[in-house]
Structure 1
Amino acid sequence: MFPSPNHGDRRGHAPSLVVLHFTQMRDAAAARARLCDPAAQVSAHWLIAEDGTTEQLVCETRRAWHAGAGRWQGHDDINSRSIGIELANPGDRPFPAPQMTALRRLLRAIMTRWTIPPTNVIAHSDMAPGRKIDPGPRLDWEGLSRDDLALFARPDPSDPAPPLPASLDALGYPDDPARLQAFRLRHRPWATGPETDADRRTAARLLRCANTPGGSRLRDGGGAPS
């Protein structure tokens, strides 16, 4: 049932995070072969193909080897604390609708099974700034947010713009020089250049969402990128 041999003990932790990845390989078959190869020493709990086919590679009670070095919310050893989902995508194209439908279905089941809130569904790039970029700027985080499956928000121009470092700390980003780029990759992929008030407002609004029941729907789906 669980074809990947690449897993271990969770070291006393239960899953409290979901980490989303892209495979950066040509197709799901190639990704599956690597994730199940003992020599590769990588794995994930789930693999979702482009057509939505969903396969479990590691039992969720086991520690899959998907996250690597990084930190989130002050914790390291993210592998022991998380469930990893790999989306078959070379990294240079949108995620197909059947794949996103399957991801929504899988996230709902995992989040219910382990009582994981939307705030704890993160990108690989969130916890490993500068080292990882997946699942990249094309993933529809806003759509996931509308279904209460992740965190996303668009700020109003009138929103306060408090200092960004404190907001990124509170959201969970590690103290890393590349964390502005990691934050933007997920929440403002159109942004370039030095930190702006739009970054500060976005992070502050995300914190409001994180602390408001159902708050991931604040300002969902509207407005042009700011």
Structure 2
Amino acid sequence: MNITLSPSPNFDERKHPIDMIVLHYTGMQTGQAAFEQLRNPDAKVSSHYLLWEDGRVDQLVAEDRRAWHAGVSSWQGDDDLNSRSIGIEIVNGGHDFPAADGTLPPYPDIQIQTLIELCHRILAGRDIPQTRIVGHSDIAPVRKQDPGEHFPWARLAQAGIGIWADIEDLDTPDVLGKGLSPGEQTASVRQMQEQLQRIGYDLSPTGTFNDLTEAVVRAFQRRWLPDRISGAADIATLRQIGVIQALYAAT
């Protein structure tokens, strides 16, 4: 893997050790537009790496410096995630620039294979838990949707990067009831919120299925149930939340 040094002025000093990887899509019309934005001092945004569709990699900020990619965000009780993470921007138009047929633009195979190699390179010699390899939508569910429901998290997990679980392939206990919907106020909502909080989402257990809870459920679905993004917690979503919470607790 060849990495081109293309320095961005948009960085400062870290305040914490590196223990996270945050994955983004660029959400711009072209990779060149994203490249220019990430190196524009007026934009005040950057990442450590930019990964192009053809597998090229630009390093914009040294790993020991604090790139400005995460914004206001939180995970597993931590904030200032820019100080804790390495950010990778993946060239993809995402929700803002879909494909001509209206679908989300695919991630080319060579791009994902290079991403896997890059993540292994970052992980080597570092204590980065699998539970702290996240998408931007995980750490900022109200604001962000990237890297999107079209991102191949399962493929990364098969390569040892992050966690994936397919509930159809697991022996999981049945979840009874009709699911949970926005606006509900029940002990079951509180239990779901507690599980999501244990996974890492910035969510206080209130027992009320409020707007923040809906955003977090949608972010969870975007990552682990990409075919059923609704913000409501149906039975499949509740089962998957339990599975992922248990896997995170055991990791």
Question: Do both proteins adopt the same fold according to a TM-score greater than 0.5, normalized to the shorter chain?
Answer: yes
Shift, 1:2, TM fit: 4.8
1:93 is aligned to 105
1:83 partnered with 2:95: no
1:141 partnered with 2:159: no
Amino acid in structure 1 at the alignment position of 2:166: R
Instruction: Determine if contact 1:26/1:90 at 8 Å carries over to the other structure.
Output: yes
Q: Any unmatched runs of 5+ in structure 2?
A: 95-103, 176-187, 204-211
Aligned to 2:22, what secondary structure does the other structure show? strand
Counterparts of residues 192-211 of structure 1 (less than 5 Å): 192=230, 194-211=232-249
Deviations 1:144-203 (A, max 9, x none): 111110111112486234832121111101113310111111111211362122112112
Structure 1 segments, 4+ long, off by >4 Å, are none
Determine which of 190, 194, 197 is the counterpart of 2:227: 190
**Equivalents in 2 of 1:79, 1:110: separation in Å?**
16
1:171 partnered with 2:199: yes
Amino acid in structure 1 at the alignment position of 2:83: S
1:159 partnered with 2:196: no
Moved more, 1-10 or 78-87: 1-10
**Equivalents in 2 of 1:129, 1:211: separation in Å?**
21
1:36 is aligned to 39
**Equivalents in 1 of 2:56, 2:129: separation in Å?**
25
How high is the TM-score relative to the length of structure 1?
0.88
Does the C-alpha gap of structure 1 residues 110 and 43 become closer, same or farther in structure 2, counting only changes over 3 Å? Answer: same
2:11 is aligned to 7
How high is the TM-score relative to the length of structure 2?
0.80
**Equivalents in 1 of 2:7, 2:193: separation in Å?**
42
Q: Any unmatched runs of 5+ in structure 1?
A: 214-226
Amino acid in structure 2 at the alignment position of 1:159: T
Instruction: Determine if contact 2:35/2:50 at 8 Å carries over to the other structure.
Output: yes
Instruction: Determine if contact 1:2/1:59 at 8 Å carries over to the other structure.
Output: no
Amino acid in structure 1 at the alignment position of 2:200: G
2:143 is aligned to 131
Amino acid in structure 2 at the alignment position of 1:188: L
Deviations 1:41-94 (A, max 9, x none): 000000000000011100010000000001100111111111100000011311
1:109 is aligned to 121
Deviations 1:14-42 (A, max 9, x none): 11110000001122221111000000000
**Equivalents in 2 of 1:193, 1:182: separation in Å?**
8
Shift, 1:207, TM fit: 2.6
Shift, 1:212, TM fit: 4.2
Q: Percent identity?
A: 39
Amino acid in structure 1 at the alignment position of 2:243: R
Aligned to 1:114, what secondary structure does the other structure show? coil
Instruction: Determine if contact 1:110/1:116 at 8 Å carries over to the other structure.
Output: no
Amino acid in structure 2 at the alignment position of 1:78: L
